[in-house]
Structure 1
Amino acid sequence: MKITSIDIKQYLLPLEPPFKAAWDPEPRKKFATTVVYVHTDEGITGVGSGDLMMGFEGNEHLFIGQDPFAIERHAQVIDNIDFHYGRCWPLDLALWDLMGKATGQPVYKLLGGRSNKILAYASTGEIVTPEERAVGFVEQGFKAMKIRFHHKDVRDDIKVVEAVRKAVGDKLEIMVDANQGWKMPWDVESTWDLKMAYQVAKELESLNVFWLEEPLPCHQFDLMAKLRDKVGIRIAGGEMNRNWYDFREMNKVGALDVYQPDVALAGGITQTKKVAELVQGSGAWFSPHTWTNGIGLLANLHLAAAISNCPYLEFPYDPPAWSNDRRDYIQKDRLMIDSDGYLVAPEKPGLGIELDEEALRKYEIRHFYVGESGNVPV
């Protein structure tokens, strides 16, 4: 089998009302999706998505004529492209989808097949009063949820956690995302320092919060390690660290309890699996970030179900602003937990993607401008 061609197509979904992401002062009015299609001489096509594939154009020839199963070779080439141009890891996802289809196996089985399911936590995206939403999550079967911080006064954020804990008691585990790890290009506000992160972590520890995510900038490995040593709450992060050696260094200093690289953003399935094995071998958890789109979520699900020791996987879900219909708009099937709170990996060969041809025709565009109206939620 040989790769014969690679197509990249773009789609844009209008968002009305806009999605007001906690980490971005600009409301999201459109949702951009890039899909990569890898075609072969045997008529099998692999599909991947989750990032914008910027910088890939002109590099297709590096893969044409190659065996799609030479995944280590391809991952190295994508890593080189990442260094020179941009993140093109959806190509790795498409190759895994292709390999699964060629062998007649779901990707989670190719990766180790520890399980085909994992408990999902409802990951909210907007700053709202979430008590009623939390009760609704319990009724839907969720066992955990994540709350976003971003009020001007962090004491108001803590009050939100107090209200949710009062509303649901011990029926939900609560995670908190401080969103201090990275910034949108136009965000010039200061981030927390170690003392602020410590004070917040101690408050959340008293509320039995399951983990505190990104309480410090993502490059401050030593400070995260100091914070982790000082508090009892788990410290999570790494969702936007794009280089494998970042995770090597974080692991070396013991920066995190929960490592969150996203296969669509940093390393694909091929390299992220290695990161997961590294950190789990040191006693930490691997629980990937999944805020890209439904295909990116599926890819992370396959890897997490196959190898992760962490009991939970992120499930981007904050209806109506961020619903299954918006997240999965180019797919036939909307991903949702089962009655017991589990996300179950599809048993179909590959990633189990079924594209909605009508939606593809409706939302395809020739090019989108990546700005305030065309960002992929993260």
Structure 2
Amino acid sequence: MKIIRVDMYHISIPLKKAFFPSWIPGYPQTHNRFTLLQLTTDTELIGHAAGIAFGEEREGLGGLLAPYVLGLDPCDLELAHQRIREASYLGWRNFWMETAFLDIKAQAEEVPIWKMLGGTDKPIPVYWSTGAVCDPKHHSKVVNKAQSEGYHGVKLRVKSKTLERDVNSIKETRSLVDSEFPLMIDANQGWPVTIVDRPPIWDLARASAFVESISDQNIRWLEEPLDMHSYEDYARLRNSSIIKIAGAELNAGWPEARMFLNFDSLDIYQPDVTIFGFKDTLKTLEEVKKRGLGFSPHTWTNGVGLWANLHVSALTDREYPLEYPHEPNSWTPESRDGILDSPIVPEDGFIEPPQEPGLGLSIDWERVKDFGTKFFSMTEGDLRKQVMKEKGVVAALRLKRRKDKEAKE
């Protein structure tokens, strides 16, 4: 089996109402944007993956990646990872694409990805993850609604200019909800963005003061209170904190996750398979399990990304719930999952592992037409023509013979 066609789409799903994500302070997000990848094989199996996007910045990605993957056996996951890595040497990480390879391989084995990887068929608990900076009046209602619907907690977000305002928003919200219901907090300091507002970037002193001020609020974990590369300060904060410290969602795969592990920086690891890729996520999970640490993937991307991380969560013991992104009236399941046949919705706080082979998602191609634009398509024949045009017929034939010889050895 080999890949014979690569197709890529820009997807832009309008939100019902402008959304002000805490990770881009002051910025009104009006669309859910991502890149959709489709790989087609000579056996008619098709794999999909999606990578979060700000806009159409991946316009030239197809021309870069397609020559690396056309003709490749999609079941050779090690080589697929290597090829994506090779295309990233100049700084463009696209390990989100690995999902499409696992999608095809699991379909070929006629099992879901999680089962192919050795997961268990048990319901996966989820927590409600808000996206805007905590507003006690609004978010206390979200917490109460989440509790009534069986969610396993709610994640609130802080990003104010003063420590006092951050602390007060959490204390006021806690006072309006069940004192025993799990609350998590995301400070979104791992990868600060200052394109509009410029709130302070936390250092160890600010993070420590925040932890001390909310230590009596029954917080299950504090997420990303420091820069994503402050491994030693994370370790110092963890050693002094009675609240569990979480992070590593957008770090550069296993090499950086290993740094957190080496410094004993975190209690809970949150790699997102659409950032880390499957190989590095699974390596991180393996090491986390060995050390008895927590694991709960980041999923704030899109419906395809959420579903891919669901497969990873099926490999865990379910001690920590999976993130379920939902900011009412803006980032809703309908806008998050807009190209799927139907939104992903928990039942009594759980999502069942998919039973269909592969990724197990059903994409609505009419919605892809409504919300997307195909910006790249290439077949093996197209690639051959391109090589002959650029290198000449003789050189192209020599390259083909050389690649065929390498593939057989």
Counterpart in the other structure of 2:353: 345
Counterpart in the other structure of 2:123: 117
Q: Residues of 2 paired with 1:10 and 1:215: CA distance?
A: 33
SS in 1 for 2:23: coil
The answer (yes or no) to whether the contact 1:96–1:350 under 8 Å persists in 2 is yes
Counterpart in the other structure of 2:15: 15
User: Is 2:29 the counterpart of 1:28?
Assistant: yes
Q: Residues of 2 paired with 1:365 and 1:326: CA distance?
A: 17
The match for 1:70 among 76, 88, 113 is 76
Q: Residues of 2 paired with 1:43 and 1:185: CA distance?
A: 45
Q: How does 1:268-279 map to 2 (within 5 A)?
A: 268-279=277-288
SS in 2 for 1:125: coil
The match for 2:108 among 82, 102, 107 is 102
Counterpart in the other structure of 1:234: 244
- Give the RMSD, CA atoms, in angstroms: 1.9
The answer (yes or no) to whether the contact 1:298–1:345 under 8 Å persists in 2 is no
User: Is 2:149 the counterpart of 1:140?
Assistant: yes
SS in 2 for 1:146: strand
SS in 2 for 1:192: coil
Q: Identify if the C-alpha distance between structure 1 residues 116 and 89 changes in structure 2 by more than 3 Å, giving closer, same or farther.
A: farther
Counterpart in the other structure of 1:371: none
Give the Å deviation of 1:354: 0.5
SS in 2 for 1:58: helix
SS in 2 for 1:224: helix
Q: Residues of 2 paired with 1:287 and 1:273: CA distance?
A: 12
| Structure 2 length-normalised TM | 0.85
The answer (yes or no) to whether the contact 1:239–1:261 under 8 Å persists in 2 is yes
The answer (yes or no) to whether the contact 1:173–1:210 under 8 Å persists in 2 is yes
Counterpart in the other structure of 2:172: 163
SS in 2 for 1:46: strand
Q: Identify if the C-alpha distance between structure 1 residues 230 and 115 changes in structure 2 by more than 3 Å, giving closer, same or farther.
A: farther
Where does the alignment leave 5 or more consecutive residues of structure 2 unmatched?
376-409
Q: Which has the larger radius of gyration?
A: 2
The match for 2:321 among 289, 312, 322 is 312
User: Is 2:206 the counterpart of 1:205?
Assistant: no
| Structure 1 length-normalised TM | 0.92
SS in 2 for 1:355: coil
User: Is 2:52 the counterpart of 1:44?
Assistant: no
User: Is 2:342 the counterpart of 1:363?
Assistant: no
The answer (yes or no) to whether the contact 1:51–1:88 under 8 Å persists in 2 is no
Q: Identify if the C-alpha distance between structure 1 residues 51 and 132 changes in structure 2 by more than 3 Å, giving closer, same or farther.
A: closer
Query: In percent, how many aligned pairs have the same letter?
Result: 32
The answer (yes or no) to whether the contact 2:253–2:275 under 8 Å persists in 1 is no
The one-character-per-residue Cα deviations of 1:327-360 (angstroms, maximum 9, x if unpaired) are 0000012111112x11222111111110112211
Q: Residues of 2 paired with 1:170 and 1:185: CA distance?
A: 34
Give the Å deviation of 1:189: 4.5
The answer (yes or no) to whether the contact 1:269–1:299 under 8 Å persists in 2 is no
Q: Residues of 1 paired with 2:184 and 2:155: CA distance?
A: 4
Counterpart in the other structure of 2:398: none
The answer (yes or no) to whether the contact 2:155–2:184 under 8 Å persists in 1 is yes
SS in 1 for 2:87: helix
The answer (yes or no) to whether the contact 1:114–1:306 under 8 Å persists in 2 is yes
